[in-house]
Structure 1
Amino acid sequence: MKISDALRKERKELGLRQKDMFSKLKMSKSHYSQIENGFHRIYADDLLRILVNLNIDYHKFFDEVIEDYGFDMEALKLENKLSHAFYNRDLKDAIKVKKEIFLSKNVPFELKYHALLVLSELKEEKLSENIQKDMYRYLFKENWTENKDALRIFGNAMKYFDEDIRVILMDRVLKEYKNISNFPEDVQKRVATICINYLFNYEGDLNTQIEEIINLLNLLKPLPQFVLYKILVALFKTKFYEDKDTAKIREIKNTLILAGYNQVVRLLEKKSFL
């Protein structure tokens, strides 16, 4: 679907007239009409203002148009298949998806690392030293915390890093994203995932770094997309601040089960958080 078609679709679904779409922009009715009819292109900043002004879900909007502009969806589809296999603990399916990923010429190397991590987790085997070294080299590059692929590698692979390296890398994340609410929503979710994974794999007592991680997670706004992070940080707080309040832990466990996070519950039970 073209952007022009997607704008027309959104307008009709919202029951709006054309003039309602550009009312806060410096744009004429005829110009906007030509945009909807595909005769004029729309500037990126004007498009984003329309989506924001009308509270249009930009994820859904761009999902509808992305393929029409040459974006390859193969990597996204393979990533979703890999995540599904991991969540369902389906080793056979994960091996199959891993083969597809390594045979593809259009996927980022980060997804290949992710596939290796998933297989390692499902097989309960350690990563090879060569793969670990490759990850170290990638993560110790300057400004790696600004690279979304590097952040995801760290979040997914941190359990395989030595503790001293993990602490150094986490400190850099905390420094970069201490004002997490100032970043786009997708970045907030990526950093929050790193924080949760770090707490999940941490076996020591409360220290300054752990306090910083919990404080950062507390800065997430109470929005639906952050609910799981808010529930999990409440659980980790019972460990570090509330001497394992059994009533609260039981309440959190029931909430996760009711929300359908049964696999999360099993992982937390395996690590004795529940």
Structure 2
Amino acid sequence: MLNVGQALKNERLAQNKTQQEWLRDINVSVSRYSEIENGIIKNGKKADIGSEQLILLLGSNNVDVKNFFSNLTEDSTSIEKLSLELSRTFNDGDAKRANELKNKILVNSGASLSLKYRAILIAAELKDHMASLDQNTIDKISNYLYRSKNWVKNKEALILFGNSMPRMNLNVLKRRMKQVIKEYADINKFSDGVRRRISTICINYVFNAIFVYKTNAYVPESLNLIKKLPANDIYGLKKMVGQYYADYLNGDQKHMAKLKELLERCGYTFLASHLSFDISK
């Protein structure tokens, strides 16, 4: 279940406020409040906030007190389930279900701002490749993504980066991808979870670089990183798609056709349909 610190953090991020802005009317230091949000334990005692201060804090930021406390009893696994289903929906290319999940997530005050932005991006990508996404939303997501200098190590920021590529400024996209490549060049020293995340970003980047932005910048580096991954059942599909793009760049239609046919025969029909590129055009 959500604890008070986590719930406060979710509410603050949903309003896009800094901790200092959030505490403007409350007599609590930023350092003390940061400990509350993060659940820091000192001398065997967990940082907490008094009930009177909590009510004042919620009221000063126009947070519905009743809804806030009801969310504390909500099972956090439901948020995780929504996130996992969102990922599956994206992989299946189900635009209708993605939009349904987006609407559920946006009204769920227990969902993080990152998950809400991710739902918006995925629904927009499946609907019309983000063509209908307004610039204001794009700017908000960009500000959220890069608010930290160490965004390249942040799981949520990396997920959002991967989903927002089709609508990014090309120079910004290349600069950010350069950071990713530099940080994860020695990819096999990281955990499987990190390797899956970064290889997905590389696949997304190669597709957008070649077919959306028409640039070769960091494409070889991205493909090389995918090539370094272990040849096992975890990364096999990523390596096959990476090889497909490498064959495309080399003009090897014969092997492209074979790979696409293999994917179709193995049941990856949606993926195969997105690999239908004619290099003669």
TM-score using structure 2 length: 0.66
Match of 1:215 among 200, 224, 240: 224
CA distance in 2, matches of 1:258, 1:198: 26
Aligned-partner SS, 1:225: coil
Matched residues, percent identical? Answer: 30
Counterpart check, 1:135 vs 2:144: no
The CA deviation at 1:123 is 2.3
Deviations 1:220-244 (A, max 9, x none): 011111011110111111122x2x2
Aligned residue pairs: how many?
201
The CA deviation at 1:88 is 4.0
List aligned pairs for 1:122-161, cutoff 5 A. 122-124=126-128, 125-140=131-146, 141-161=148-168
CA distance in 2, matches of 1:272, 1:127: 28
Which stretch of the first structure deviates more once superposed, 219-228 or 101-110?
101-110
Identify the structure with the greater helix proportion. Answer: 1
The CA deviation at 1:205 is 5.5
CA distance in 2, matches of 1:252, 1:132: 35
| Cα pair distance change 1:273/1:72, threshold 3 Å | farther
CA distance in 2, matches of 1:252, 1:194: 21
Q: Which runs of 5 or more structure 1 residues have no equivalent in the other structure?
A: 1-69
Deviations 1:177-219 (A, max 9, x none): 0101000100000000000000111133545x22211211111
Alpha-carbon RMSD across the aligned residues, in angstroms, is 2.1
The CA deviation at 1:96 is 2.0
The CA deviation at 1:273 is 7.2
CA distance in 2, matches of 1:114, 1:273: 32
Aligned residues of 2:162 and 2:201 also touching (Cα < 8 A): yes
Aligned residues of 1:74 and 1:107 also touching (Cα < 8 A): no
Report the counterpart of residue 3 of structure 1 in structure 2.
Answer: none
Counterpart check, 1:114 vs 2:118: yes
Report the counterpart of residue 100 of structure 1 in structure 2.
Answer: 104
CA distance in 2, matches of 1:174, 1:83: 23
TM-score using structure 1 length: 0.68
CA distance in 2, matches of 1:265, 1:273: 16
Report the counterpart of residue 177 of structure 1 in structure 2.
Answer: 184
List aligned pairs for 1:1-274, cutoff 5 A. 72-124=76-128, 125-140=131-146, 141-203=148-210, 204=214, 206-207=216-217, 209-240=218-249, 242=250, 244-269=251-276, 272=278
Structure 1 runs (4+) deviating above 6 angstroms are none
Aligned residues of 2:114 and 2:156 also touching (Cα < 8 A): yes
CA distance in 2, matches of 1:235, 1:72: 39
Alignment-mate amino acid for residue 275 of structure 2: L
CA distance in 2, matches of 1:71, 1:220: 36
